[in-house]
């Protein structure tokens, strides 16, 4: 065996006993610190996955060290001994050495670096990712990919139940693997859909390779797997498989349909106080105000039929997120006067925009069909409006809520004639 071969044999034996980058600006990454330093940080990272016995890895050391020094303070540069930390290599689909990945704005989908292994080329690629992130933060569009999205919520084993199951929010959750090509293709569409659905459906993403227990809990066997969780407190068994397409439009349409099905109809409140008025109508685009006949003119069965009509109407128009209240005729005179309803007959209805202090009244029948036509026109922006009388939000009286019973006429008091002293001229 010649001296050169002996030297290589010694390298193969001795190199694994020490880290490549013990000194210098390259950060040594391990299974215990990778998630904290790389994934959970807001910094751009260039990460090399190497094996100590790999000749190409050994040749890369001086160039990679130059990159770390040149990018210091701008981009983080790290290295993983994938021979020692096999789980990290497997998590990111590392199949050869050295493998370099750039963890840019979208940490869940690192960019594979496949260019020249020179300090300049690696630095240029890292700076391109940094520029992309800056462009996105300034509100522009990055070229060549979706980058990250603050609207996609990162889920983990520790926060999944709290954010998804124990909330009233509607969720779409993607279980992905960083090395999965289909997941990478989905990433920009998922980010775009998250932005469009903001305020209605929350979109989350869970790295199933980093959090295998949660993926196993939901029976994830392939990537990406998407699960839907309806609004309200929910359990694991409530998860529904997503079966739509993988464009942002497909995702948005599918989610909105499920969202509409899952959101509860708004409650129809009896208007008995200022607090009820605020609870039902504050921050709503419109408030649908109904005045029902007095209980002496319309018994409990009659009133409940009207309330049923209101609840069915609220269900049909629940996507509009309007407020709904009703009052007994004469119980809220300020409201009736401000909206010019009720005085000419009951039942009556008006839809009022308290921010603009404008309203429009139901002129048709107070029936399922009549109310539907009235509110449909409003939802399409049709119909004549009038200013609220007094140009201010009407005062709401504080009254007792209806007890659900029929009305009772007040009992007449009996007169006891035994105590009455009659004058001689008085006659019975």
The residues near 109 (Cβ < 8 Å, ≥ 6 apart) are 176, 178, 183, 184, 187
The catalytic residue among 11, 54, 287, 302 is 54
Q: How far apart are the first and last CA of the chain?
A: 144
What is the CB neighbour count within 10 angstroms for residue 262?
A: 16
* Cα–Cα nearest to 250, from 175, 173, 197: 197
Q: Is residue 180 among the annotated active site residues?
A: yes
Contact between 339 and 350 (Cβ < 8 Å): yes
What is the C-alpha separation between 373 and 379, in angstroms, rounded?
A: 10
Cα separation, 240 vs 244, whole angstroms: 12
> Catalytic site residue 183?
yes
Give the span between the Cα atoms of 358 and 373, in whole angstroms. 19
- Catalytic pick among 57, 281, 287, 298: 57
Residue 57 designated active-site: yes
- At residue 241, φ and ψ (nearest 5 deg) are -70, 135
Distance of CA 287 to the CA centre of its chain: 25
Cis ω before 347 (30° cut-off from 0): yes
Catalytic one of 11, 180, 281, 302: 180
- Rounded CA-CA distance 412/414 in Å is 6
Asked whether the beta carbons of 223 and 212 are under 8 A apart, the reply is no
- CB atoms inside a 10 Å sphere around CB 219: 12
Question: By C-alpha distance, which of 155, 161, 159 is closest to 236?
Answer: 161
Which of 144, 149, 213 has the alpha carbon at shortest distance from 175? Answer: 213
Burial of 263 (0-12, 13-18, 19+ CB in 10 A): middle
Q: Which of 183, 281, 287, 298 is catalytic?
A: 183
**Active-site amino acid positions:** 54, 57, 180, 183
């Amino acid at each position: 065996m010649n001296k050169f071969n002996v030297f290589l044999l010694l390298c193969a034996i001795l190199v694994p006993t020490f880290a490549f980058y013990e000194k210098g600006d390259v950060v040594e990454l391990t299974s215990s610190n990778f998630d904290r330093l790389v994934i959970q940080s807001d910094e751009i990272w260039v990460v090399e996955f190497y094996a100590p016995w790999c000749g190409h890895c050994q040749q890369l050391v001086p160039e990679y060290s130059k990159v770390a020094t040149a990018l210091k303070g701008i981009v983080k540069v790290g290295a993983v001994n994938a021979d020692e930390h096999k789980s990290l290599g497997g998590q990111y689909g590392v199949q050869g050495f050295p493998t370099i990945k750039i963890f840019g704005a979208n940490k869940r989908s690192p960019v594979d670096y496949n260019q020249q292994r020179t300090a300049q080329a690696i630095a240029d690629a890292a700076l391109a990712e940094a520029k992309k992130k800056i462009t996105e933060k300034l509100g522009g569009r990055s070229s060549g990919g979706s980058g990250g999205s603050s609207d996609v919520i990162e889920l983990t084993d520790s926060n999944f139940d709290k954010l998804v199951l124990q909330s009233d929010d509607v969720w779409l959750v993607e279980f992905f693997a960083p090395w999965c090509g289909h997941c990478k293709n989905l990433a920009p569409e998922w980010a775009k859909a998250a932005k469009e659905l903001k305020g209605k459906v929350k979109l989350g993403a869970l790295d199933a390779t980093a959090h295998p227990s949660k993926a196993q809990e939901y029976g994830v066997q392939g990537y990406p797997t998407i699960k839907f969780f309806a609004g309200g407190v929910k359990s694991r068994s409530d998860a529904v498989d997503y079966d739509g397409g993988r464009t942002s439009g497909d995702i948005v349409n599918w989610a909105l349909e499920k969202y509409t099905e899952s959101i509860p109809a708004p409650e129809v409140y009896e208007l008995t106080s200022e607090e009820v008025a605020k609870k039902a109508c504050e921050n709503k685009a419109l408030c649908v105000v109904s005045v029902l006949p007095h209980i002496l003119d319309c018994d409990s069965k009659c009133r409940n039929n009207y309330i049923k009509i209101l609840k069915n109407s609220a269900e049909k128009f629940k996507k509009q997120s309007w407020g709904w209240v009703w009052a007994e005729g004469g119980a809220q005179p300020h409201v009736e006067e401000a909206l010019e309803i009720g005085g000419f007959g009951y039942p009556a209805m008006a839809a009022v925009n308290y921010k603009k202090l404008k309203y429009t009244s139901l002129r048709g029948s107070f029936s399922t069909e009549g109310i539907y036509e009235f509110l449909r026109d409003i939802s399409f922006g049709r119909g004549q409006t009038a200013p609220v009388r007094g140009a201010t939000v009407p005062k709401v009286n504080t009254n007792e809520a209806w007890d659900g019973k029929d009305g009772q006429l007040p009992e007449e008091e009996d007169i006891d004639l035994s105590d009455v002293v009659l004058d001689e001229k008085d006659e019975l």
